[in-house]
Structure 1
Amino acid sequence: MGKKWTQLENGYLDRTPIFQFILLSCLFPLWGAAASLNDVLITQFKSVFDLSDFASALVQSAFYGGYFIVSIPASMVIRKTTYKTAIICGLLFYIVGCSLFFPASHMATYTMFLFAIFAIAIGLGFLETASNTYSTMLGPEKYSTLRLNISQTFYPIGAAAGILLGKYLIFQEGDSMASQLATMTAQQAHAYRLDMLMNTLEPYKTMIFVLLGVLALFAITKYPSCKVAGEEKKSSVSMKETLSYLASNVPFKKGILCQFLYVGMQVAVWSFTIRLALEMDSSINERMAANFMVISYACFFVGKFIANFLLSRFSTNKVLASYAVVGCLLVLYVSFMPSFTAVYAAVAISVLMGPCWATIYAETLKTVEQKYTETAGAVLVMSIIGGAVVPAVQGYVSDITGSLQFSFIVNFLCFAYVGYYFLSKMRETKHMDEGVSEEHIVGQH
């Protein structure tokens, strides 16, 4: 058989290889599952280790801190080898991180669990740095943003799977953990906490088998390089020159800040939704409260399809700006409405977060010259560090105010900047169009 695609000089393909694209897109639910399991772990660890909201949010700090540290090394691996090699490295680290839950569950220390989560994040940093950019490259350039949005549509499938694994394998039936611990002696509470920690191992056993299967498929599947023609010229671009270029690129820096705040908001809302449900209704337990996260990921999934439809018909900037305005209103409702409907509003926010990551990523990448793409993609993935910062800030606000519900106001500021970012892009586009029209009129005369 002949080649099913032709690679163009700019690294893009003349057509999308369907099997390779689908297999690549199947990586997205893998980090979705890991991220949603963190939402379960935050609730579990708070009771088991008797943590403050700030301390429990360190689960996300360990997770997204790993992304931050590994993104540049991952981009260097891509530059020196291929996207496929970086993906295989990521899958191997992911498997190692899951395996570390075996000693962590026996050592029963919060620090060891954070280390295991950090190791998983190292693997995911490789996967995301490679996969997000690779998805934009696997086909014609004009459909690059749409392809990434399609790949990102797979993410909530994994996120829902992760929360279901946590719901049934980590959380237990009966009263909430806090209620049960309140009735126990010190010795009984110690034994109960150890049992609950052993439960945290179960989902990661399942993940290891899935990852081994995906790793085998990637190892035997042929992928295009999607590197710019004249690789020897491109390799002469130093990391110092690349970072200097990116540091002076104002549109790129605005995109980085937008992605930082968006990711932080998404992670913070999802991190505390289960806790919010438990706080607003003390009669439900963790397993019941986890249902709201399952619905959140379903909303996120539906939101992506709605966004794909809207983005194919309307301006990207108008769609995202509109989403941000509605998102701000919902966050205010969550923060101040003294009824359980605040939980439903927190769930509804997920519909509006659907298109944000992929759209911000692809649009920001377009502001960068092609020869700097791999490193720019890595820096964009580094902006995921927002997921380490914003949840911790929200946890701190919750601790000092004594109100988890009010702490959601932190996310209003994040969504407001996302709206400001896309509104400013709308104005820039309008001015450019007006300038082109004036030039056209002058040219006719």
Structure 2
Amino acid sequence: MTGKARSYAPAIILTVSLFFLWGMANNLNDILIAQFKKAFTLSDFETSFVQQAFYLGYFCLAIPAAMLVRARGYKAAIVTGLLLYAAGALLFYPAAHYGEYRYFLAALFVIASGLAFLETSANPLMTELGDPRTAARRLNWAQAANPVGTLTGVLIGKYFILSEIAHDEGAIAAMTPAAREVFYRTETQAVQAPYLVIGLVVLAFALAAAIIRFPDARTEAGEDAKPPFAHVFRHPRLLFAAVAQFFYVGAQVGLWSYTIRYAQYNVPGMIERTAADYLFASLLLFGIGRFIGTALMGRIPPARLLALFATAALTLALAAALIGGTAGLLMLVSASFFLSIQFPTIFALGVEGLGPLRKAGSSLIIMAIIGGAAVTAAMGFVSDRAGINMAMLVPGLAFLVVLVFAVVAGRDADTRIGDDNPLPIH
């Protein structure tokens, strides 16, 4: 470890923890969709409001986050992000008390607003904490915390939020009004304690961030000479990367959001907790895929590997839509392995060669995360009209967009990502 890295060791540890924290928050949403569908008797399209509210926060706050990093430095952005994250989690307590779906959506928007600050600052920060020649390896190491967070989120949801009561509309309708009210209230309040604990833990991280020394992004060479944000629109590959990221994030979020729903539909009698095991398996494969994909990238150009992974994900999503049953569920789960490298590779290919525009370009790609709201809503719309299996055609089309981007990016002579252009993570 270099002298600079040693001097910022606490900042490195805390920044790595941020990858864990936003992974946990993102995948708790998949549990909330199943829980709220039962607690508020929602249609599949209405459950997609969870992801719509969440990813709208990313869209609205990505550029303000980049501006805060530039004006006040990394510490200000990270503390702000953690405070917003904590505030949103704590808002689950009154939301559960009043039992209103819209209050939960507002709380999720606040959480995601905080995550926009964390993602916009943590990725470039990890490239600066230490020797520039090892920036990519340092960031890949930090990425390992993200899948751990996603798995933790699913386990929290499975054991502390989801009940062992299957969603049987007939049985619920047969209850007395008083019993039905107690059932709905119990299901709604199940989210109260876990999010209260999460909020308090994140507050502790915010306090730690406030007292830890961070490098100042404002002292970077050439910072004052950076061109206006509007100049990013002169870079076609960056714009195509933002489009590809929109569809990729939408496909990822949509697949995981409806995995529990798909499992219960295709395997009759399966309860939510059992269905959550398939979501857990998906995320485990996703994490394994990140390590294997990173190793393969040392031998296969990133754009070509992205094309291969997008093709595999496309094939498996279409198979899940057309085959169904247990076989379709296994194919849906397997698709997560091939999601693993897509976000960071699209990101890196998009900002490659931007120079002083990299931070502005990065915020544009972070804004594209709004695809998590749009594609999930489209899947809910299709599911309500043609069934959950046919809804899997939507992410299939999204992976086709990623494939086209990979092919176009691969036409450039130099698509290899070096240590000066590391792979950020979602």
Do both proteins adopt the same fold according to a TM-score greater than 0.5, normalized to the shorter chain? yes
Question: 1:404: which partner in 2?
Answer: 388
Shift of 1:180: 4.5
Question: 2:106: which partner in 1?
Answer: 115
Unaligned stretches of 5+ in structure 2? 417-426
Whether the aligned pair in 2 keeps the contact of 1:264 and 1:384 (CA below 8 Å) is yes
1:137 to 1:251, Cα distance in 2 relative to 1, 3 A: farther
Aligned mates of 1:119, 1:229 — CA distance in 2: 30
Question: 1:423: which partner in 2?
Answer: 407
Q: What is the percentage of aligned positions where both structures have the same residue?
A: 34
Question: 1:435: which partner in 2?
Answer: none
For residues 346-368 of structure 1, the C-alpha deviation after alignment (integer angstroms, 9 at most, x for no partner) is: 11111111111122222222232
Aligned equivalent of 2:232, options 238, 242, 246: 246
Aligned equivalent of 1:61, options 52, 66, 87: 52
Aligned equivalent of 2:76, options 66, 74, 85: 85
Whether the aligned pair in 2 keeps the contact of 1:48 and 1:197 (CA below 8 Å) is yes
Aligned equivalent of 1:31, options 18, 22, 31: 22
1:164 to 1:369, Cα distance in 2 relative to 1, 3 A: same
Aligned equivalent of 1:41, options 24, 28, 32: 32
For residues 372-397 of structure 1, the C-alpha deviation after alignment (integer angstroms, 9 at most, x for no partner) is: 23322221111100001000011111
1:367 to 1:55, Cα distance in 2 relative to 1, 3 A: farther
Aligned mates of 2:170, 2:156 — CA distance in 1: 23
- How many residue pairs get aligned? The number is 416
Question: 2:213: which partner in 1?
Answer: 222
Question: 1:293: which partner in 2?
Answer: 279
Question: 2:397: which partner in 1?
Answer: 413
Aligned equivalent of 1:376, options 338, 361, 367: 361
Aligned mates of 1:74, 1:338 — CA distance in 2: 42
Aligned mates of 2:221, 2:338 — CA distance in 1: 41
Aligned mates of 2:390, 2:28 — CA distance in 1: 24
User: Any runs of at least 4 consecutive aligned residues in structure 1 with deviations exceeding 6 A, and if so which?
Assistant: none
Aligned equivalent of 2:297, options 307, 311, 314: 311
The residue type equivalent to 1:339 in the other structure is G
For residues 76-133 of structure 1, the C-alpha deviation after alignment (integer angstroms, 9 at most, x for no partner) is: 1111011121011000011110111111001111111100111111111111111122
For residues 221-258 of structure 1, the C-alpha deviation after alignment (integer angstroms, 9 at most, x for no partner) is: 22222446456733xx5xxx623211121111011111
1:184 to 1:24, Cα distance in 2 relative to 1, 3 A: same
Unaligned stretches of 5+ in structure 1? 6-12, 433-445
For residues 394-434 of structure 1, the C-alpha deviation after alignment (integer angstroms, 9 at most, x for no partner) is: 11111122x101110111111112122112222222799xx
The residue type equivalent to 1:409 in the other structure is L
Aligned equivalent of 1:197, options 178, 188, 205: 188
Aligned equivalent of 2:328, options 342, 345, 349: 342
Query: Structure 2-normalised TM-score?
Result: 0.91
Question: 2:63: which partner in 1?
Answer: 72
Question: 2:288: which partner in 1?
Answer: 302
Shift of 1:314: 2.3
1:289 to 1:246, Cα distance in 2 relative to 1, 3 A: same
Q: Which moved more, 1:390-399 or 1:134-143?
A: 134-143
Q: Which moved more, 1:203-212 or 1:252-261?
A: 203-212
Q: Which moved more, 1:225-234 or 1:86-95?
A: 225-234
Aligned mates of 1:178, 1:167 — CA distance in 2: 21
Aligned mates of 1:178, 1:287 — CA distance in 2: 18
Question: 1:131: which partner in 2?
Answer: 122
The residue type equivalent to 1:379 in the other structure is L
1:341 to 1:314, Cα distance in 2 relative to 1, 3 A: same
The residue type equivalent to 2:327 in the other structure is T
Larger radius of gyration: 1
Aligned mates of 2:268, 2:193 — CA distance in 1: 27
- Secondary structure in 1 matching 2:296: helix
Shift of 1:55: 1.0
Query: Structure 1-normalised TM-score?
Result: 0.88
